[in-house]
Amino acid sequence: MTPSRAPWLPTLALALAAALAGCPAPEGSGDAKEPAAGEAASPADQEKDAFYAFGASLARYASGMKLSESDVDALEEGLRDALLARPLRVDPRSQGPQIQKLVGERRAAAAAEETAAAGSVLAEAAAESGAKKTDSGMIYVSTAEGSGASPKPTDRVKVHYKGMLRDGSEFDSSIGRGQPAVFHLNRVVPCWTEGLQLMKVGGKAKLTCPANLAYGERGVPGRIPPGAPLVFEVELIEIVPEVADAKSAPKAADKPAAKPAAEPETKPETKPGQP
């Protein structure tokens, strides 16, 4: 039997290569071994590290699933055989429906676990001093009162923020990137749209968001599990005024300008809106 490379591998490789440029650091990357001060990694080590990172990035495509050691062993076996052009003991094309079923079941199991844990997370947040629970279920705690205006849903805001999962691990941070995020408040997750309207410029707050006000049952592959409650620490820096373009400003007889672009001026790695 002549070994044949799986037909989906070139497509997967291209997709991964395109994604890697903006691939965020994986959780726990702070524990990675670094060369000693003044010691440069050898070319062989650099190549090994690059392949390791390439392999680690594959995990993003299986994120949101509950996997055991034996599951990972089977994944590794299939990946190894396909990449090394060995005969495959199972034809991937014949397993399409089973793969979809498996992924759906495992993601549902992960979401159920997050949902079960969400109750205690929200209850703990609601018990904090000064906590306010809104009708939507969001928990709002002001950590520093601002003195400026409060934004409206249609306003553009400039913020610094940090996003965390229920175990306290950080999945996104404009502070870590050293650049505040700017976006329209009505183009982010409902928890943000609601929570920031309770703030004043110069203020800071903690928002604890049930999944239905965040990324829901989809989550964000590789970053946020399906059904996950989220915690955001937010600083409202500024309500950013809309700047009219004199060249494109409509005359009195002109029709209203087209609706604004859908993307924020500064894109967080995981925008606090649509994934």
Q: What is the pLDDT of residues 246-264, one digit of tens each?
A: 454 444 433 333 333 333 3
* pLDDT recorded at residue 105: 86
Per-residue pLDDT averaged across 15-23, rounded? 38
User: Residue 155 has which token pair?
Assistant: 């306003």
The residue segments making up the domain with residue 145 are 119-240
Residue closest to 144 by CA, chosen among 130, 126, 164, 134: 130
Would residue 256 count as lying in a domain? Answer: no
Give yes or no: residues 74 and 124 share one domain.
no
How far apart are the C-alpha atoms of 107 and 100, rounded to whole Å?
11
Domain check: are 131 and 198 in the same one? Answer: yes
Q: Are residues 153 and 76 both part of a single domain?
A: no
Name the burial class of residue 25, with classes exposed (0-12), middle (13-18) and buried (19+) by CB atoms within 10 angstroms of its CB.
exposed
Residue 188 lies in a domain: yes
128 & 222 share domain:
yes
The answer to whether position 80 is within a domain reads: yes
195 touches 140 (CB < 8 A): yes
Cβ count near 58 (within 10 Å): 13
pLDDT in tens, 186-201: 999 999 999 999 999 9
Overall domain count for the chain:
2
Task: Tell me the pLDDT band of 3, cut-offs 50, 70 and 90.
Answer: very low
Structure-token match 């928890």, residue found: 191
Same domain as 147, residue 58: no
Q: Indicate whether 147 and 184 sit together in one domain.
A: yes
- Does residue 133 share a domain with residue 200? yes
Give a yes or no: residue 175 inside a domain: yes
Contact of 191 with 231, CB cutoff 8 Å: no
Q: How confident is the model at residue 157 (pLDDT cuts 50, 70, 90)?
A: very high
Closest CA to 188 of 151, 242, 241, 221: 151
- Please state the rounded mean pLDDT for residues 222-249: 81
In this structure, are 137 and 205 located in the same domain?
Answer: yes
Distance CA 266, CA 74 (A): 41
Tokens encoding 249? 């400003």
Write out the two tokens for 122: 């929200």
74 located within any domain: yes
Alpha-carbon gap, residue 177 to 169, rounded angstroms: 16
Provide the pLDDT confidence category of residue 266 given band limits of 50, 70 and 90. very low
Q: Residue 114 — pLDDT band, cuts 50, 70, 90? A: confident
* Range in 10-14, 170-174, 233-237 the model is least confident about: 10-14
> Which is it for strands 204-209 and 139-144: parallel, antiparallel or unpaired?
antiparallel
Q: Using pLDDT thresholds of 50, 70 and 90, give the confidence band for residue 71.
A: confident
Q: Judge contact between 141 and 135, C-beta under 8 A.
A: no
What is the band of 39 on the pLDDT scale with cuts at 50, 70, 90? low
Instruction: Report yes or no on 253 lying in a domain.
Output: no
- Better pLDDT: 71 or 271: 71
Distances (CA, A) of 191 to 45, 195, 232: 44, 6, 10
- Tell whether 230 and 123 lie within a shared domain: yes
Kindly state whether residue 180 falls inside one of the protein's structural domains.
Answer: yes
Q: Is 275 within 8 Å of 192 (Cβ atoms)?
A: no
Q: Which pTM was predicted?
A: 0.62
Number of other CB atoms surrounding residue 112 within 10 Å? 13
Q: Are residues 134 and 80 in the same domain?
A: no
Is the model more confident about 57 or about 42?
Answer: 42
Whether 209 maps to a domain, the answer reads: yes
C-alpha 197 chain-centroid distance:
23
Q: Do 131 and 64 share a domain, yes or no?
A: no
Tell me which of 145 and 271 has the higher pLDDT.
Answer: 145
Q: What is the CATH number of the domain that holds 136?
A: 3.10.50.40
Same domain, 175 and 232: yes
